[in-house]
């Protein structure tokens, strides 16, 4: 076989052409010691450093040193097929300027495609011409190139490459073995970079979530408000640091109170940002004295522009008036439950409006109108409550019926809004064993008997 694995041409054998190339001399003990020391030094450097570019430069410098090459490159092939030099070095640990970073592209592409190391010894101009214009133009006499991975996987994206213009230089088997070992260290360095990057990204996300949770905490109202004949208790528990759930209590002019419980689909920073936007937007619109259907229509148009495909926000909002009248609009949220003190009944206030951001052209043009009397209780929850999973039977959910039963029992026993809220929280936590898989939100509104 000829160079790069090509079949020998007629006349290349003894008697028909030039004599066979002499085999490289076995490495001396000193050379083997140099190879070993270079590997040990590179391994030590990688183990002590988290700066990936410095690690890669050290490996390329070691490749030049151990093979006595003149130049060394770490070259990557990007998804569009373009070859890009990541590290370019020459002797004395000097960087190579961008204008001088030429190399044998044909060799690099062959190594990337075949995932086999290549060694080349160029003895004359004819051989240089046969192996590519870059080899001839650069005056290269020897080069060696190895893939960064031979596992056939997704790491087929780079090579380690050295070359020399010295006619006496010939890379031997020990050079190749050490060079392949150094290419393995490149993979180690890149894996270490991914690990460091992942740790940094994780820490960044944790910090972002902490900040988002702090912002959300400041946006949430006090857990209790009592005014104009209404007693209101709210509570929420995020499944993660940041929450897609929110609740709000907004005192308005003409002795009215706006309340809301919302739930943005998904988890993490994105839904938390949308939740904060929806909460702040609803507050602002209600304070402009808009009626409730109009307020949700305006908010829907705004949210639709911000929401990623497939995401939406369910929202149950109500306006409470001093005389006990209440308007309720439900945008895809679990139904509010109303307990009547007069007969002990529990009514589900259903609505057929879609969630915010689901149907762009939808208009929220109707509200449920009710009047609450002294002792009546209105309960709002997020689906994290009704869909909470049983700690032992994961297929069993807490469900609306348990919520209805608890509301009826607690209200009939004369419990106030705070006690009803606390009882529901205890029941859900006991049911789930404290394992929360979704954000939990509860709001209890009671019409005070003395109103």
What is the edge-to-edge ordering of all strands in the sheet holding 158-164?
94-95, 83-90, 71-77, 158-164, 142-147, 118-121
**Calpha distance 35→404 (Å, rounded):** 77
Same domain for 91 and 52 = yes
Judge whether residue 448 has pLDDT over 60: yes
Mean pLDDT score, 404-421 = 95
Same domain for 283 and 419 = yes
Angle between helices 173-219 and 52-67 (to 10 degrees): 180
The shares of helix, strand and coil residues in the chain, as percent rounded to the nearest 5, are: 40, 25, 35
pLDDT of the residue at 168:
67
The residue length of the chain stands at 451
Task: Give the number of other CB atoms < 10 A from CB of residue 203.
Answer: 10
**Calpha distance 146→338 (Å, rounded):** 73
The CATH number of whichever domain residue 249 belongs to comes to: 3.60.40.10
Which of 197, 229, 251 terminates a domain? The answer is: 197
In a domain, 82, yes or no: yes
Lowest-pLDDT range of 18-22, 195-199, 258-262: 18-22
- The CA R_g of the chain, rounded to the nearest whole Å, is 36
Percent of the chain exceeding pLDDT 90 equals 36
Same domain for 169 and 240 = no
Which of 182, 197, 212 terminates a domain? The answer is: 197
pLDDT of the residue at 45:
55
Name the DSSP class of 21: P
Q: Are 440 and 384 in contact (CB under 8 A)?
A: yes
Interval 42-82: pLDDT, tens:
565 555 555 778 888 888 888 888 888 999 999 998 888 88
Q: Are 389 and 397 in contact (CB under 8 A)?
A: yes
Same domain for 235 and 181 = no
In a domain, 17, yes or no: no
In a domain, 18, yes or no: no
**Calpha distance 159→201 (Å, rounded):** 27
Q: Are strands 142-147 and 377-381 parallel, antiparallel or unpaired?
A: unpaired
The CATH number of whichever domain residue 111 belongs to comes to: 3.30.450.40
**Calpha distance 76→23 (Å, rounded):** 32
CA separation (Å) from 426 to 100, 336, 403, 434? 71, 20, 12, 10
- For residue 378, what are the β-bridge partners? 338, 445
Per the structure, the complete domain to which residue 268 belongs is given by 220-447
pLDDT of the residue at 22:
45
Judge whether residue 136 has pLDDT over 90: no
Q: Is 202 helix (H, G, I), strand (E, B) or coil?
A: helix
In a domain, 215, yes or no: no
Mean pLDDT score, 334-343 = 95
Could you tell me which residues come within 8 angstroms of residue 240 by beta carbon, excluding any fewer than 6 positions away? 209, 267, 268
Same domain for 280 and 249 = yes
Judge whether residue 6 has pLDDT over 50: no
Q: Indicate if the alpha-carbon torsion angle 146, 148, 151, 157 is positive or negative.
A: negative
**Which helix or strand (DSSP H or E) is residue 330 part of?**
strand 325-331
**Calpha distance 279→89 (Å, rounded):** 56
The domain tally of the chain equals 2
Angle between helices 399-412 and 417-432 (to 10 degrees): 140
Ramachandran assignment for 168, one of left (phi > 0), alpha (psi -120 to 50 degrees), beta (any other): alpha
Task: Give the number of other CB atoms < 10 A from CB of residue 112.
Answer: 20
> What is the chain's mean pLDDT, rounded?
81
Same domain for 187 and 246 = no
């Amino acid at each position: 076989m000829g160079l790069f694995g090509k079949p020998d041409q007629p006349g290349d054998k003894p008697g028909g052409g030039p004599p066979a190339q002499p085999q490289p001399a076995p490495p001396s003990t000193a050379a083997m010691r140099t190879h070993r020391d270079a590997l040990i030094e590179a391994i030590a450097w990688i183990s002590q450093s988290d700066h990936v570019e410095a690690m890669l430069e050290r490996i390329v410098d070691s490749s030049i040193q151990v093979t006595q090459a003149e130049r060394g490159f770490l070259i990557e092939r990007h998804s569009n097929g373009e070859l890009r030099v990541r590290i370019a070095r020459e002797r004395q640990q000097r960087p190579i300027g961008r204008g001088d970073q030429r190399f044998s592209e044909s060799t690099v592409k062959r190594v990337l495609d075949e995932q086999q190391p290549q060694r080349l010894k160029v003895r004359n101009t004819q051989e240089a011409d046969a192996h590519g214009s870059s080899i001839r133009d650069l005056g290269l006499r020897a080069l060696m190139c190895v893939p960064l991975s031979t596992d056939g996987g997704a790491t087929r994206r780079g090579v380690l490459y050295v070359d020399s213009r010295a006619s006496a230089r010939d890379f031997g088997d020990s050079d190749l073995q050490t060079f392949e070992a150094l290419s393995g260290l490149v993979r180690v360095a890149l894996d270490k970079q991914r690990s460091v990057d992942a740790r940094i990204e994780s820490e960044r996300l944790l910090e972002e979530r902490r900040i988002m949770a702090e912002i959300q905490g400041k946006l949430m109202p006090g857990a209790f408000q009592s005014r104009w004949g209404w007693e209101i208790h709210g509570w929420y528990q995020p499944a993660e640091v940041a929450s897609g759930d929110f609740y709000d209590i907004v005192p308005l002019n003409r002795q009215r109170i706006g309340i809301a419980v919302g739930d943005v689909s998904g988890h993490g920073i994105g839904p938390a940002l949308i939740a904060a936007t929806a909460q702040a937007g609803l507050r602002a619109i209600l304070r402009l004295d808009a009626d409730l259907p109009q307020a949700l229509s305006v908010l829907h148009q705004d949210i639709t522009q911000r929401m990623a495909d497939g995401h939406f926000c369910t929202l149950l909002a109500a306006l409470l008036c001093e005389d006990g009248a209440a308007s309720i609009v439900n945008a895809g949220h679990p139904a509010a439950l109303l307990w009547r003190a007069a007969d002990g009944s529990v009514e589900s206030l259903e609505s057929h409006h879609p969630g915010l951001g689901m149907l762009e052209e939808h208009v929220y043009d109707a509200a449920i109108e009710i009047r609450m009397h002294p002792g009546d209780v209105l309960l709002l929850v997020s689906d994290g409550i009704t869909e909470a999973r049983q700690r032992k039977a994961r297929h069993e959910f807490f469900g609306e019926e348990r919520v209805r039963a608890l509301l009826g029992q607690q209200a009939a026993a004369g419990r106030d809004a705070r006690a009803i809220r606390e009882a529901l929280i205890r029941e859900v936590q006991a049911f789930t064993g404290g394992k929360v898989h979704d954000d939990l939100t509860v709001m209890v509104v009671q019409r005070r008997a003395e109103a």
